[in-house]
Structure 1
Amino acid sequence: MTEKKRVLFLCTGNSARSQMAEGLLRHLAGERFEVLSAGVVSSFVRPQAIAAMNELGIDISHHRSKSWDEFLDTPLDYVITVCDHANQRCPVFPGRVQRIHWSVDDPVISGSEEMQLEAFRRARDELQERIRAFTQKIGPLNSD
């Protein structure tokens, strides 16, 4: 069996985009990847992110927000920043880490609950497309 590749998703607060990306990659290809997420700072996992992921049958309610400081000594294969702020502030991780940047719009907006949830759905769907493309480069995905 091939060793799993370790992927760390980063965003500003590890509250939405990186949390959804972690859940998506684990769901789509968790047998091939060890998936982690963190933020420039830790905060909390936004309920809208949990709700948007639940719509796909992916439960991230048990996730906790983490700072990237927790992973500075962790061997990684890929670091994927999912917002411009995290990309600009991203620290140097040890080893031969491949850095990838995806500029995904911040889903945190003001407005009605439905408008807010729709912004999270858009971010989730963009992340899902990018994750599918990322995993296709490495090998086939699960079909679910």
Structure 2
Amino acid sequence: MMNAENPGRPTILFLCVENSCRSQIAEAYAKTLLSDICDSYSSGSKPSGQVNPKAIASMDRAGYDMNRHTSKPIDELPTKRFDIAITMGCGDFCPDIKAGHSEDWAIPDPKHLNSSEFDQIRDQIKNRVEDLRTLLLQSA
């Protein structure tokens, strides 16, 4: 199902339990790297209510201001079915979302890492989003 707000554009949802680090970073990169070809969202099964300050700082070092991002629950999402749902590696605790395609990226949780290690996880997520762009363009 395509996005009701923008028919013809695929929708991608990045999921994690708290929606405070990995899924937020993935959404940020999708908004910068994929905004011309799809709409992207992030959400959590048990959102923390705030974006992790380490994630905000890490994305700031990468040139993206994540201060306006918010940690949100699944029931606040604008669409009920997504073309692609990507979990970040939170195992059995990740929510089950109906999507045309689902996959797990198995990204380690960076919330307890130092800045340098956190940035490595951020860069890993960026690489995965860039790969996703390539796949989306090939299938268009």
Q: Tell me the TM-score range normalised by the shorter chain.
A: 0.7 to 0.9
2:14 counterpart residue number: 9
Q: Pick one of 76, 83, 87 that aligns with 2:82.
A: 76
Change (3 A) 1:16 1:92: closer
Task: Name the counterpart of 2:101.
Answer: 98
RMSD (Å) for aligned C-alpha atoms: 2.2
Distance 1:50 1:38 in 2: 16
Choose 27-36 or 71-80, whichever is displaced more: 71-80
Instruction: Report the equivalent of 2:111.
Output: 108
Identity %: 29
Instruction: Tell me the amino acid that sits aligned with residue 34 of structure 2.
Output: A
Deviation at 1:32, TM superposition (A): 1.1
Q: 5+ unaligned residues in a row in structure 2: which ranges?
A: 1-6
Secondary structure in 2 matching 1:77? strand
- CA shift digits 1:12-41 (9 cap, x unpaired): 100000000000011112121111001121
Q: Is the 8 A contact 2:87 2:94 kept in 1?
A: no
Asked whether the 8 Å contact 1:78–1:98 carries over to 2, the reply is yes
CA deviations 1:82-108 (Å, max 9, x no partner) are: 1233x6542242xx5210110001101
Q: What is the TM-score of this pair, normalised by structure 2? A: 0.84
Q: Which amino acid aligns with 1:126?
A: Q
Partner of 2:115: 117
User: Structure 1 residues 92 and 138, CA, compared in 2 at 3 Å: closer, same or farther?
Assistant: closer
Change (3 A) 1:72 1:30: closer
Match in the other structure for 1:50: 56
Read off the aligned partner of 1:79 and give its amino acid letter: A
Q: TM-score, normalised by structure 1?
A: 0.82
Change in CA separation of 1:25 and 1:72 when aligned onto 2, cut-off 3 Å? closer
Whether the aligned pair in 2 keeps the contact of 1:9 and 1:36 (CA below 8 Å) is: yes
Contact 2:58 2:115 in 1 (8 A): yes
